[in-house]
């Protein structure tokens, strides 16, 4: 019933562009110019194959999973729940046995290695080395004081002069508030790593030194050496 075709309904005027184009359509030259169009296949249409059953089955499973997952990890839709496993009272985990070397190694990597470098070699002229120096392996009290309160002024380590500012890691004002146990652990670590070999420093020893001094600003290099001279 091509009469019903809206395109066929109105016969174009013989001089209209449309009818001229239709006439030209037969022309060889126009066909060449429009070669790209002439070879074109139909505009896309749709087939009507049914949806495969297995996909519907698969989707049902995914939707079910989604519902379960969302319910389980919704944190009761609270704004202040950030752990998907948080449900009521969280079980208090048994604290693992404290290993000062392992702990000290981690504290060192997070807090100290940026300056003193991974192997304690330091950066020549800027950050003193921790390997093979009495500053580390000598007096435990001197080392604890440096860690707790920081150190400024000129010091000589393994023949090089340094004039930096070691920050205070103890609890005092401006300090970074690392606990006695971690101070002891990291001190023990640097005294025993990379070929250093000195006795460990306990949490109690750190506490003792800290209590004896109280809060104070950073030590000056010469002041500290006056209290605890190097052996040479």
Partner 1 sequence: MSNTVAATSVQETPYTTANPGVVTELSRIDRSMRGAAIFFLISSVLWLLIGSALAIIAALKAHTPDFLGAYETLTFGRVRSAHLNAMVFGWSNNAIFAVGLWMMARLCRNEVRHHGMLYIAGALWNIATTIGIAGILLGHSTSIEWLEMPKNVTPVLALSYALIGAWGILAFRFRRGEHVYVSQWYILAALFWFPWLYTIAQMMIVWFPARGTVQAITNWWFAHNVLGLWFTPMALAAAYYFIPKVLGKPIHSYYLSVLGFWSLALFYNWAGVHHLIGGPIPVWLISAGIVASVMMVIPVIVTAINHHMTVVGSFGAVWRSPTLRFIVFGAISYTAVSLIGSAMALRSVNVVTHFTHFTVGHAHHGVYAFFTMIMFGSIYFMMPRLLYREWPSATLIRVHFWCCALGIGIMVVGLHVGGWIQGMMMNNPDIAFIDTVIATVPWLYSRSVSGLLLTIGHIAFALNFFWMIFPRRSASAAGPTLLDGKEVSA
Partner 2 sequence: MNNLPLLFLGIFFTLAFSWTGLILTSQIQFGGLVQTTQQLDAEGNLMEDEDLFPQQIVGLAKHGKEVYIDLGCMYCHSQQVRRPGFGADTERGWGNRQSVPRDYILQDRVVLGTMRTGPDLKNIGDRIPSTDWHHQHFYNPQITSPGSVMPPYAFLYRVQPIGDEPHPNAVPIPQSSPYHPGPGLEIIPTRRAEALVAYMLSLRLNYSLPEAPIVEQ
Give the binding site for partner 2 (CB under 8 A).
79-80, 82-83, 95, 106-107, 110-111, 114-115, 123-126, 163-165, 167, 176-177, 179
Report the C-alpha gap between 123 and 75 in whole angstroms: 48
**CB closer to partner 2 out of 138 and 171:** 171
Pick from 222, 209, 204, 134: nearest CA to 170: 209
CA distance 215 to 54: 73
Give me the least distance between CB of 216 and partner 1, in Å please.
Answer: 33
| Residue 110 Cβ vs partner 2, minimum distance, rounded to whole Å | 3
Q: Give the CB-side neighbour count of residue 218, counting CA atoms within 13 A.
A: 16
Q: b or e along 172-203 (b: 16 or more beta carbons within 10 Å of the residue's beta carbon)?
A: beebeebebbbbbbbbbbbbbbeebebebbbb
Using CB under 8 A as the binding rule, whether residue 53 contacts partner 1 is answered as no
Residue 116 CA to residue 205 CA, distance in Å, equals 24
Smallest gap, in angstroms, from Cβ of residue 113 to partner 1? 7
Residue of 15, 40, 94, 211 that binds partner 1 (CB under 8 A): 40
The reply on whether position 51 binds partner 1 by CB under 8 A is yes
CB 99 within 8 A of CB 192: no
Nearer to partner 1, 26 or 231 (CB): 26
Q: Give the x-and-dash track for 106-145 against partner 1 (CB under 8 A).
A: x--x---x----x---------------------------
Nearest-approach distance from CB 7 to partner 1, in angstroms: 6
């Amino acid at each position: 019933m091509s009469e019903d075709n809206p395109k066929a309904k109105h016969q174009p005027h013989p001089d209209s562009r449309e009818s001229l184009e239709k006439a030209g359509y037969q022309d060889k030259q126009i066909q060449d110019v429009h070669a790209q169009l002439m070879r074109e296949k139909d505009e896309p249409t749709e087939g009507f194959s049914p949806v495969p059953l297995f996909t519907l089955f698969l989707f049902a499973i995914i939707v079910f999973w989604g519902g379960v997952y969302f319910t389980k990890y919704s944190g009761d839709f609270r704004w202040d729940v950030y752990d998907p496993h948080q449900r009521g009272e969280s079980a208090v985990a048994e604290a693992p046995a404290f290993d000062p070397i392992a702990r000290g190694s981690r504290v060192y990597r997070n807090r100290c290695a940026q300056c003193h470098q991974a192997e304690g070699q330091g950066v020549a002229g800027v950050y003193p080395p921790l390997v093979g120096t009495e500053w580390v392996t000598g007096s435990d009290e001197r080392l604890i004081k440096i860690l707790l309160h920081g150190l400024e002024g000129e010091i000589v380590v393994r023949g090089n002069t340094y004039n930096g500012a070691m920050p205070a890691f103890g609890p005092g004002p401006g300090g970074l508030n690392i606990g006695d146990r971690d101070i002891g652990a990291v001190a023990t670590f640097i005294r025993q790593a990379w070929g250093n070999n000195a006795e460990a420093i306990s949490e109690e020893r750190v506490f003792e030194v800290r209590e004896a001094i109280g809060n104070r600003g950073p030590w000056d290099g010469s002041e500290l050496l006056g209290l605890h001279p190097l052996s040479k």
